[in-house]
A and B are shown apart, each in its own frame.
Chain A
Amino acid sequence: MFFADFATALTLTFGYMFSRSVTMQYPDKEKWLPYARYRGHHFLKRDEEGEIKCVACELCARICPCDCIEVVPYEDDKGNRRPAKFEIDMARCLFCGLCEDACPADAIALGQQYEFSSFSSRDLVIGRDNLLGKPGKATTGGGVVAARLNTEQDVLVVTSAPHGYNWWRNIRRT
């Protein structure tokens, strides 16, 4: 029909006007919680006594395809082999997760944090103590949560909500 396609187009855009917006108001209102499988910033784990799990075997440093992990072992007062220095150059890391797979002591893993941009690549070399304090794997990830911007902290966007709404359900498919 004459101009029927115009009418179809207009009704379509009109319908879209009242459909839900897909905008995620990152970083000062909302934030995406990654899935549990997400490979973000590394973190080092502790065992039950609070002792670092890492045995400084340097397997992670060996398997790392971009050679960004540097481990220097030492012997602590209990006679265990521990890392004196454990540095990851985040500027070079490609987040493949091979270090996590290779680790025999289950000491290193890639966590949920993804906000670690920096003005200097020197700041992206993360040491042992810093890695111990990084957030671990996401447990209930995969959603958008309310958040607020925090410029003081290391973690840019802070959130307290553990569950988010599923952002994907907002996408209208016609």
Chain B
Amino acid sequence: MELIVALGLIAFKVAFLIAMLLLLPLPLTWLERKIAGHMQQRMGPMRVGWHGLLQPVADGIKLLTKEDHIPAEADRFLFKLAPILALAPPFVVFVAIPFGESVSVLGHEITLYVSNMNVALLFVFAVIGIEVYGVIFGGWAANSKYAVLGSLRTCAQMISYEIPMGFAVIGVVMLAQSMSLLEIVRAQAGVWNIVYQPVGFFVFFVAGLAEAQRIPFDLAEAEGDLGAGFHTEYSGIRFAFFMVSEYAIVLLVSVLVVILFFGGWNGALVPLPPLLWFLLKVAFFVYLFIWFRFTFPRYRYDQLMAIGWKVLLPLSIANIIITGVILGAATAP
């Protein structure tokens, strides 16, 4: 009986996560277009529903009923595989993400995470590394020059930025003495990591922008010079898969930034429910992503590489060394 309840709970949590991640892009696209519109003194969607609120639903219906076109010269197997490869990793990663400690429902304590891994951070980086295959295969399989150029750029970009991203969190791991995301948040109950790790946060956030392929690092799509980059040839639901994956990664990077550097569900000043605190912080970072998108131009390819290797990597290594030295000095007898 205990086992059945536990399994049922896990199944429910997983189903809830999947539903949430599939449905969240709807309000996010609406928000993004609305914010874009207002930043450009437009109105954004206004016609479908109140202030265009049903616009994402209309877009969804359009994408579902659109012709699923595969180019004649495309590698059909990889072409079909790529959207799934792009979509699955961000979903899988959320298994390891805690959204809070626990809530009590009907006398039961229900934890707000699917699993509390002791190497959650490692798991996150390992799984999110797979996501690049979706983009690379998608660009390659379409057999279009724009798509190939887009995925070539992505390939180099992802690999370059995963290194500083991985190094940036080492400082956090040193402070928490654990790779479990739950422990990392618990370690920030007093002071948030942003106070000790401003450089780590900076490197992580910039690399996160690049990992999510958002402006100013959206060279993989670069609608100005590559059509639509790696998903130029995709249409209908396969294109929607890439879009959902992009929003899931935006969400994931926001969640990671909050957990690693902004105290997770630890509140400050105002006593709010921990989950609400967490969601508010995540919402702020999602907004920041959208805000950046409509403020900054895209970096040139060589600038992108220069930032990754010449700025972020040395900064993150220096951050590790300095954190280590200070920690060593502080804990020395």
Which one of A9, A12, A14, A21 has the greatest number of beta carbons of chain B within 10 Å? A21
User: Could you tell me if B38 and A21 are in contact, using CB atoms closer than 8 angstroms?
Assistant: yes
User: Could you tell me if A172 and B41 are in contact, using CB atoms closer than 8 angstroms?
Assistant: yes
User: Could you tell me if B41 and A13 are in contact, using CB atoms closer than 8 angstroms?
Assistant: no
Complex Cα distance, B42 from A171, in Å, reads 11
Which residues 19-55 of B have a CB within 8 angstroms of A? 35, 37-43, 46
Chain A 32-54 near chain B by CB (<8 Å), digits 1 or 0:
00000000000000000000000
User: Could you tell me if B294 and A21 are in contact, using CB atoms closer than 8 angstroms?
Assistant: no
User: Could you tell me if B42 and A16 are in contact, using CB atoms closer than 8 angstroms?
Assistant: no
Complex Cα distance, B39 from A22, in Å, reads 11
Asked if B295 is an interface residue, CB under 8 A from chain A, the answer is yes
A-B pairs under 8 A by CB, number? 37
Chain A hits for B133, CB < 8 A: none
Chain A 1-19 near chain B by CB (<8 Å), digits 1 or 0:
0000010011011101111
Complex Cα distance, B40 from A171, in Å, reads 11
Asked if A23 is an interface residue, CB under 8 A from chain B, the answer is yes
User: Could you tell me if A21 and B296 are in contact, using CB atoms closer than 8 angstroms?
Assistant: no
User: Could you tell me if A17 and B296 are in contact, using CB atoms closer than 8 angstroms?
Assistant: no
Chain B hits for A21, CB < 8 A: 37-38, 41-43
Chain A hits for B292, CB < 8 A: 10
Choose one: A14, A16, A18, A25; the contact of B40 (CB below 8 Å).
Answer: A16
Complex Cα distance, B37 from A23, in Å, reads 10
User: Could you tell me if B41 and A14 are in contact, using CB atoms closer than 8 angstroms?
Assistant: no
User: Could you tell me if B291 and A13 are in contact, using CB atoms closer than 8 angstroms?
Assistant: yes
Chain B hits for A12, CB < 8 A: 295
Complex Cα distance, B41 from A163, in Å, reads 24
Chain A hits for B296, CB < 8 A: 6, 9
User: Could you tell me if A16 and B291 are in contact, using CB atoms closer than 8 angstroms?
Assistant: no
User: Could you tell me if B291 and A14 are in contact, using CB atoms closer than 8 angstroms?
Assistant: yes
Which residues 260-299 of B have a CB within 8 angstroms of A? 291-292, 294-296
Chain B hits for A10, CB < 8 A: 291-292, 295
A94 to chain B, nearest CB (A): 32
A39 to chain B, nearest CB (A): 29
Choose one: A13, A23, A25; the contact of B294 (CB below 8 Å).
Answer: A13
User: Could you tell me if B35 and A17 are in contact, using CB atoms closer than 8 angstroms?
Assistant: yes
Which one of A17, A18, A20, A23 has the greatest number of beta carbons of chain B within 10 Å? A17
Complex Cα distance, B37 from A16, in Å, reads 10
User: Could you tell me if A13 and B43 are in contact, using CB atoms closer than 8 angstroms?
Assistant: no
Complex Cα distance, B38 from A13, in Å, reads 9
Which one of B41, B46, B294, B296 has the greatest number of beta carbons of chain A within 10 Å? B41
Complex Cα distance, B41 from A171, in Å, reads 8
Choose one: A6, A16, A20, A23; the contact of B39 (CB below 8 Å).
Answer: A16
A3 to chain B, nearest CB (A): 9
Chain A 126-168 near chain B by CB (<8 Å), digits 1 or 0:
0000000000000000000000000000000000000000000
Chain A hits for B46, CB < 8 A: 23, 25
Choose one: A6, A9, A19; the contact of B41 (CB below 8 Å).
Answer: A19
Chain A hits for B294, CB < 8 A: 13
User: Could you tell me if A23 and B295 are in contact, using CB atoms closer than 8 angstroms?
Assistant: no
User: Could you tell me if A23 and B291 are in contact, using CB atoms closer than 8 angstroms?
Assistant: no
Chain B hits for A23, CB < 8 A: 41-43, 46
Complex Cα distance, B296 from A171, in Å, reads 22
Chain A hits for B42, CB < 8 A: 21-23
User: Could you tell me if A17 and B39 are in contact, using CB atoms closer than 8 angstroms?
Assistant: yes
Complex Cα distance, B42 from A25, in Å, reads 10
Which residue of chain B has its CB nearest to the CB of A20?
B41
Which residue of chain B has its CB nearest to the CB of A21?
B43
Complex Cα distance, B43 from A17, in Å, reads 10
Which residue of chain A has its CB nearest to the CB of B296?
A9
Complex Cα distance, B42 from A80, in Å, reads 56
Complex Cα distance, B35 from A18, in Å, reads 10
Given contacts A13-B39, A21-B43, 20 further A-B contacts (CB under 8 A): A6-B296, A9-B296, A13-B291, A13-B295, A14-B291, A16-B40, A16-B41, A17-B35, A17-B38, A19-B41, A20-B41, A21-B38, A21-B41, A21-B42, A22-B41, A22-B42, A23-B41, A23-B43, A23-B46, A172-B41
**Contacts A/B (CB < 8 Å), 29 sampled:** A6-B296, A10-B295, A12-B295, A13-B39, A13-B291, A13-B294, A13-B295, A14-B291, A16-B38, A16-B39, A16-B40, A16-B41, A17-B35, A17-B39, A18-B38, A19-B41, A20-B41, A21-B37, A21-B38, A21-B42, A21-B43, A22-B41, A22-B42, A23-B41, A23-B42, A23-B43, A23-B46, A25-B46, A171-B41
Report B's interface with A, CB cutoff 8 A: 35, 37-43, 46, 291-292, 294-296
Q: What are the 3 tightest A-B residue pairs by CB atom distance, in nearest-first order?
A: A13-B295, A23-B43, A17-B38
